[in-house]
A and B are shown apart, each in its own frame.
Chain A
Amino acid sequence: MTDETGREPAMELSDEMLMAYVDGELAAEEAAAVERAIAGDAGLKRRAADFRDTRMLARGALAEARAEPVPAALVAAVRAAAERARQASAGTAGTPVAAVTAGDRRATAAPPAAATVDPAPSDTAEPAATGARVIAFPQRRRAALFALPIAASLMVAAGLTGFLIGDARAPVTDVATVAPLGGDTAVTAALTGLVSGDERTLADGRRLAAVATFPVDDGVCRVFTVRGAESGAVEGVACDRGSGLAVEVAVTATSDDGAYTPASDVATGVVDAFLDAAGAGASLTVEEERALPRR
């Protein structure tokens, strides 16, 4: 069906449909249709950006709580419960440990077994029988958020900037903007020569620090900070996916009096969400970084 302009009529897109598209929940055919509709419609683009932003912001806002160490008592109690279940399934229920806690949740807060658990568990300290390790974040399903790294991060940038412009009148103590630094070749050129922990002063006086490097599916991503820029402290990620380093996300954090806010939780949250979505693995050692190809 076509309208008088000979094109497909504007698609009536529900919030649910648009959101499902952003979340990568649509079948390929539906997704392509939504993509076409969005391409020619600034309003739809804005609504899609809202769904993208809110997903990233929700993750960023809660990243802090998730990075908190789990209380040793909780880890110990859960391990003790796992151990009891193991013994029960092995037909050895009725041992003292299993008997202590039958039906009483409170009693398990500090069962006898807990006393032997190292409060800071490590591979070496833990017996093979339980062998539990606290792993920060398991690999998760890749979110559609950064499915198209460059285009998507620019879109996120646009959306966030919009939200922050609306925010500018507000008496907030600090704000963050995600700005594309794609053209900032001074940063990427200097970063190429640095390993994590290194700092360098750029020609314009800004101070660049290499923070960490993470492997991703098709290359590496490097986290960096830039201080001394008029726009404030920047934390960002530059990735080399086969054609040299390019900045894919950069978060600027400034306080309302213009002072820089280093390592703001906003920036860290956004960067973590980005790395998470990019499927980043464990960070490389300095030696591994040195072995990376230089472009």
Chain B
Amino acid sequence: MLGYYVRLALKSFGRNPGITTLMVLAIALGIAVCVMTLTVYHAMSGNPIWWKNDRLYAVTMDNWDPKQAYSKKSTLPPPEMTYKDTQVLFRSDVPVRKVMMYATDGVISGVGTVPSERAQTRVTTADFFAMFEVPFLYGNGWGAAADSPAQPVIVLSRDENEKLFGGANSVGRTLRWNDHEFRIVGVLDDWYPRPRYYDLNGGQFNPPEKAFIPYGWGAELELLNNEETDCWKPEKLDTFKDFMASDCVWIQMWVELPSRSSRERMQSFMDGYWAEQHRAGRFQRPRDNRLTNVGNWLRDNKVVDTDNRVLVGLAFAFLAVCLINTVGLLLAKFLNGAPISGVRRALGASRRQIFTQHLIEVGALSVLGALLGMGLAALGLAAVRHLYASAHLYHRGGYQELMHFDVTGVIWALVLALAATLAAGLYPAWRIGRLPPALYLKSQ
């Protein structure tokens, strides 16, 4: 009977092409707006490492000016920490993995005829790769022993390896980074967490760095942070050593804590350190030592602002309006066809069969709506991409790369369209099945 019902649905569409087109358009428009908004929202709010949400924690402590908070807009502590505080916290053996890091500028040279080029580089401790589950194409990261004293090893991104070595396995080869020789120990596979949760400075949706070097090189080569560095205290900052000893915040610190007890122990370690420093005259603001998981980290840093959430709400409201209109049109269409349903009932169709027939018609309508909706959404996303591409040409991997119409989006659209339209069509289909057939048999 399914094939028969589908044939009847198509015939019914042909009977009222105007009203059918209107319904398909209404569904498609609602779906398109929803899918577009959801795709953008999903891309901008997704936790790229959700499976470790209860294990990875950003470490922050409020060392800021006792007279004023770090931010006028929130009560959060600074998102980075001082060099000296991270050095102490890093000594804790509570976390199973721990990372101190920052981003710096480097120049890569010394690879055949490839011209020297500026390469955003992450200066980090060894656990970075395992902790954030960074995939490797060739080789691996370095061991903790390479962090300090710093060993001349380097990990390249896949793109950078492509550019420098044509994609070949470059592990074991050397290059010059800021005119120092480094040996390549690993090449990353494709890795592009969106948003770049581990460091939200300098473009929340920018791609990861092109190169990674051991943390010890920061002090050794006096590498400055090229992203957010905030200072509040009038203090001597003549040398890099002064800077490392200062109350300026610029180091990001993450820890991996596998259990509640380990979190409590880490928190207690931080609080103990805070109390000690407080007694020594530092940390004069109210105690605010935080371990923040990735989801809350993204929320606190307003990766998804309220506008986006409101926009998603509005998109769903718009879909609801479209579907309510569709329900009205469906009711009108089905009631217009009530005499035919009456005839079918007289010829032996049960209420259930009439209901199923109309529900399949609604299903066919929703498939058409979904297909058109996805087309419109693809066009819309292409338009957004186009707009951003023209505005941010220098941002390779910026917003324009977020707007791709991924498989998840397509599945969402289909599920959304089918579920929403079927839900919307349930009442009209049920209603038409309940109509007394005798009432309409005389009126044909």
**A is bound by B:** no
Chain B interface (Cβ within 8 Å of chain A)? Answer: none
Chain A interface (Cβ within 8 Å of chain B)? Answer: none
